[in-house]
Amino acid sequence: TRMRLPVLLLLLPVLGSTCLSGYSLVYDGQCFKGNTSSNQLLYADAKNTCASDDSHLPQFYSKQEVDNFMTKYYGSNGYGYWIGLLC
């Protein structure tokens, strides 16, 4: 079964507190960009879209990072998100 989720997020690390146009500063100098299209994307498509923007899917390393992300994005629309996972 192929999983599809309606929103993709891009992560772009920045210095200082300024993000590129279309990105939002969420925490600790990390900028996120949500996909505003209603199209659902496969994981590989989401990952490739991020790469084309010199970015990557978000990766979280602490509960605080997850909480900050969820407060900013998940609570606002209830969509699911692709994230990058490391094992």
Average pLDDT over residues 60-77: 75
Average pLDDT of every residue of the chain? 71
Reported in sequence order, the residue ranges of the chain that DSSP labels E, i.e. its strands, are 9-13, 24-27, 30-34
| Residue found by looking up tokens 């407060």 in the block | 71
Q: How many CB atoms lie within 10 A of CB 86?
A: 6
Q: What is the value of pTM for the model shown?
A: 0.61
3-state secondary structure of 14: coil
Average pLDDT over residues 8-27: 66
